[in-house]
Structure 1
Amino acid sequence: GIHTLILQIMLNTPKYTWGIQDIAKARALRVLVNELEDPDFAVILQPRGGLDYFSSNLERARAQLASVTMLMDDIEPDNPASPQIIHVVSYSEGVRLADPEVVEESVRITRYALTEYRRLKKKGDMPEYGKSEMVEARTQNLLKEARRMIKFIEATIPNAYSPIGFYSMLKSGVFPLPWLIACKDEFEAAVNQPVQFLHGGVHVVDREGKPLSVSQRLFGIAKNLEEMGFLPSISGYADSSRQVSGSGGGQKEHLGEEH
């Protein structure tokens, strides 16, 4: 089986995402996936910048590359060996594909930004953004919401961690995909979820534009699963809902069998 997972996390996606949200998202995902680690399975973090993030102004794009490198360092600020791998997106991507010279310069910018950022933080000349209370609060909220959704999925979708299970998640609207280009009719439940950009992040919202929690979304997802034949009735969802009210991370035991 698989013994090493390279966990690639794309930052700056959408490109208007606040740094606080990006750090929290990456950190929450890192925590969840790290729970799968054991003596035979390791997870290696590999953050990267978002392609859509880079400006067509190459000087600005160079600065953006340095900026996203600093974000990467704040995912695990107390670990000098993190990130273990950096996927360097060349600064020219907003205009054209990179040539060898641009690739080399992009690597130099990334290395310098990481070294200088750490030096400034050590001297106290740079705020410790990765240790802010806002980042920690957002991270904990994302973890709580993600674990609730994971427990619901495991309780309602047979063979959740399989191709058909993943298809069922897409079909039932587990993942809101309002910008999906292909297969819109097939994944209508995912496409038709309204989202808004709030507080630097993307949120599913109700008709009044108020953000919906995972708990509020579960009933609609359960209804879709019932129509797909995965739930006997909405009353079955009520039983699952009681099971997912906790905050545990049951995915480790299930996924751990399929490294």
Structure 2
Amino acid sequence: MNKKVILGASIGNCVHVAGIINFLSIARVQDYETIFLGPATDISYLYQKILEIKPNIIALSYRLTPNNALEILSEIEKFRNNSDLSDIRWCFGGTKPVADVARKFNFFDYISDGFDDIDDCVCFLKGTQKDDNSSNYKNNIVDRINEKYPYPVLRHHFGLPSYEDTLDGIKKIAEAKVLDVISLGPDQNTQQFYFNQENMDRVNDGAGGVPLRNKEDFIKLKEATMHGNFPLIRSYSGTADVFKMADLLIETLDNAWSAIPLCWYNELDGRGNRKVEISIKEAQGLIAYHGKKNITVEINEPHHWSLRDAHDVMSVFMAYVSSYNAKKFGVKNYIAQYMFNTPNTLSFSMDLARVLAMVELVESLKDENFNIFRQVRAGLNYLSPDLDVAKGQLAATTFLSMNIRPHIVHVVGFNEAEHAATPDNIIESCKIVRGVLRNVVNDHLDLTINPEIIERKKQLIEEANYLKEFICNFYKDYDDPLANAFVLSDCIKRGILDAPHIVKNKKIRGILETRVQDGKCVAFSKKLGRNICERERIEELKSNGNLD
């Protein structure tokens, strides 16, 4: 089957080509053959090539004075009216004043004035231009990803202490058409006590998110998404009655996907009262529950260890364990989240090496029954409370994370360190990210080939594999150790899986020490006075009696 052809040109006396070249690059990603006639293309030559090539789309660019544009476009309109070009679609790009002139001509199907978005361009190329009444917006995350890739789907957290403000905010965000997925953040009372509201401390209403107290509260928020670009909506999981909460989210929100921590939201982090082993078993059951319903699952596990200053090997290993459990318990579509800048003192190069090691191990599990989608985000503790600085940081880490070609960008609002995100903050943050995407999606700049990054990635994979082999051998009498709730909880209690800042008690040691050195987060031995590898760390656990 022959590819569709786009014929492009900067017309008249216009020599500016950057905009149309970018458009043609986007078109090639959408599987078009592109032909560019160059700058300052004479109109008669343009006619000749149109009749000769008979393209599917003609893309014109003009960025000079509006009056000149009016004269040139009038001439093109006469040619078009006198030729049999009814099957050809036309598009135009220019500055806003020139684009306003182009809008006077009714033969353009798409006009770019610089204020439009990549999504608009892709929709035109796919022949699915959208408006508030369109049914073309995909209503599940896998279809949205497949429709847009290599342009990532954007997700952002949102939930204000006021229910009404949250409801109005979702409507405003949907109208802005800059966000694909709203991740609803319920308050802690909702997450922990929704099904036992008599236990809620009402002083904490609105703490950490939006208070939701009945089904109608959820349903109204879903209804608020049903215009603009029809963003999907999902919610954070509960920390108690997790199966009831899963059913509620599916029924009311058509939950875009479920995010389930494997080892957390329990006594380990103080976000719940469940014992570690019980919560791991429940998490595995919840993963299997969504797998049976063919609902996409994210196991937001690795960054929980890094946020508590575990060394890089730990987050790499737990990324593998997370995906291993997802596959084991029947998930078909899996979202692997990679939080950059965690800890926030990592260097960009060593941070990228850490994430690349995660990606390689995670995607070693991919097969025809287990699809993996990469999701990236800035670190929770990375952004500065100085909002101008934070905007630069958000752009910088987005650029870095695009090196792993993500399917989803979890946008962290630039305001995160200073205040909870308002709708305006979210819209601005998404525009900052989209500004980065304009320049990098079609570029071939690749930081992953840097020798130092490759060497660090290799080292982390080797260390993570050592840890995996040790656990599997140490617990060889247990069925499938990496997916065994007792084994994983016992590893935490013994310090095999560890982080400096977990909640400590008689059962959970939290004895790991780490340092950030040369941009890497490494395990550190006070006894030896230096960094240690996994073999040495395990030997210290043995010598201290933790593995008896």
The corresponding residue for 1:47 is: 376
CA contact (8 A) 1:4 1:42 kept: yes
The corresponding residue for 1:6 is: 335
Please give the alpha-carbon distance, in whole angstroms, between the structure 2 residues aligned to 1:169 and 1:150: 11
Query: With CA pairs under 8 Å and 6+ residues apart, which has the higher RCO, 1 or 2?
Result: 1
The runs of 4+ residues in structure 1 deviating greater than 6 Å are none
- Pair 1:176-2:498 in alignment: yes
**Aligned residue type for 1:177:** A
Which secondary structure does the structure 1 equivalent of 2:416 belong to?
helix
Please give the alpha-carbon distance, in whole angstroms, between the structure 2 residues aligned to 1:7 and 1:118: 20
**Aligned residue type for 1:144:** E
Which digits, 9 at most, give the CA deviation of each residue in 1:8-58, with x for residues without a partner? 011111111111121111111111111111110011110111111111100
1:194 to 1:225, Cα distance in 2 relative to 1, 3 A: closer
One of 427, 444, 453 as aligned partner of 1:135: 453
1:141 to 1:218, Cα distance in 2 relative to 1, 3 A: same
Please give the alpha-carbon distance, in whole angstroms, between the structure 1 residues aligned to 2:352 and 2:425: 27
The corresponding residue for 2:436 is: 113
Aligned length: 213
CA contact (8 A) 1:90 1:102 kept: yes
Larger CA Rg, structure 1 vs 2: 2
Displacement of 1:193: 2.3
The corresponding residue for 2:485 is: 163
Please give the alpha-carbon distance, in whole angstroms, between the structure 1 residues aligned to 2:376 and 2:488: 24
Which digits, 9 at most, give the CA deviation of each residue in 1:184-230, with x for residues without a partner? 44221xx2222211111211112243110111122234565643xxx
5+ unaligned residues in a row in structure 2: which ranges? 1-329
One of 521, 534, 537 as aligned partner of 1:217: 537
Which digits, 9 at most, give the CA deviation of each residue in 1:71-118, with x for residues without a partner? 11123xxxxxx2011111111100111111111111111111132245
The corresponding residue for 2:516 is: 197
CA contact (8 A) 1:9 1:48 kept: yes
Displacement of 1:173: 1.3
CA contact (8 A) 1:46 1:84 kept: yes
Displacement of 1:69: 0.3
CA contact (8 A) 2:353 2:453 kept: yes
CA contact (8 A) 1:21 1:200 kept: yes
**Aligned residue type for 2:451:** E
Which digits, 9 at most, give the CA deviation of each residue in 1:136-189, with x for residues without a partner? 000000011111111111111234212212111211212331122x2344221x
5+ unaligned residues in a row in structure 1: which ranges? 76-81, 228-259
CA contact (8 A) 2:495 2:546 kept: no
Which secondary structure does the structure 2 equivalent of 1:216 belong to?
helix
One of 3, 27, 33 as aligned partner of 2:362: 33
Which secondary structure does the structure 2 equivalent of 1:149 belong to?
helix
CA contact (8 A) 1:196 1:209 kept: no
Which one is further off, 51-60 or 196-205? 196-205
CA contact (8 A) 1:6 1:44 kept: yes
**What fraction of aligned residue pairs are identical, expressed as a percent?**
25
Task: Give the alignment's TM-score, normalised by structure 1.
Answer: 0.76
Which secondary structure does the structure 1 equivalent of 2:415 belong to?
helix
Please give the alpha-carbon distance, in whole angstroms, between the structure 2 residues aligned to 1:116 and 1:150: 39
CA contact (8 A) 2:494 2:547 kept: no
Please give the alpha-carbon distance, in whole angstroms, between the structure 1 residues aligned to 2:382 and 2:353: 18
1:16 to 1:100, Cα distance in 2 relative to 1, 3 A: same
The corresponding residue for 1:187 is: 508
CA contact (8 A) 2:500 2:513 kept: yes
CA contact (8 A) 2:467 2:534 kept: yes
- Pair 1:148-2:466 in alignment: yes
Please give the alpha-carbon distance, in whole angstroms, between the structure 2 residues aligned to 1:116 and 1:209: 45
One of 382, 399, 403 as aligned partner of 1:70: 399
1:198 to 1:47, Cα distance in 2 relative to 1, 3 A: same
Please give the alpha-carbon distance, in whole angstroms, between the structure 2 residues aligned to 1:226 and 1:140: 28
Please give the alpha-carbon distance, in whole angstroms, between the structure 1 residues aligned to 2:390 and 2:486: 40
- Pair 1:102-2:425 in alignment: yes
CA RMSD of aligned residues (A): 1.8
Please give the alpha-carbon distance, in whole angstroms, between the structure 2 residues aligned to 1:19 and 1:176: 24
Please give the alpha-carbon distance, in whole angstroms, between the structure 2 residues aligned to 1:184 and 1:63: 41
Displacement of 1:128: 4.3
**Aligned residue type for 1:183:** K
Please give the alpha-carbon distance, in whole angstroms, between the structure 1 residues aligned to 2:490 and 2:338: 24
**Aligned residue type for 1:193:** L
**Aligned residue type for 1:178:** P
Please give the alpha-carbon distance, in whole angstroms, between the structure 1 residues aligned to 2:539 and 2:434: 47
